[in-house]
Amino acid sequence: MLRFFLNHRTFLRSEHPEREGQSPTQLLTGEPHPHWLELLGFDLFRQPAIVA
């Protein structure tokens, strides 16, 4: 489980600016992926948009 988390967590900072905001998996595949909790089958809570 820890390996999954570390492979799908985005880099907050890096010596290489192009890696910031991407996960190791995204860097290897070149494709974006959903949030790591969604990959495990959980639904993320999203607040509904407020219509005024």
Condensed to tens digits (0 to 9), the pLDDT of residues 15-35 reads 888 888 888 888 888 888 777
* 10 touches 19 (CB < 8 A): no
Question: What integer pLDDT is reported at residue 9 of this predicted model?
Answer: 75
Q: Is residue 23 part of a domain?
A: yes
Amino acid at 21: G
Q: Is residue 51 part of a domain?
A: no
For residue 38, give the 3-state DSSP assignment.
Answer: helix
Question: What integer pLDDT is reported at residue 22 of this predicted model?
Answer: 84
Query: How many domains are contained in the chain?
Result: 1
What is the pTM (predicted TM-score) of this model?
A: 0.53
* DSSP type of residue 23: -
Question: What integer pLDDT is reported at residue 40 of this predicted model?
Answer: 82
Q: Is residue 18 part of a domain?
A: yes
Q: Which domain does 14 fall in, by range?
A: 2-39
Q: Is residue 14 part of a domain?
A: yes
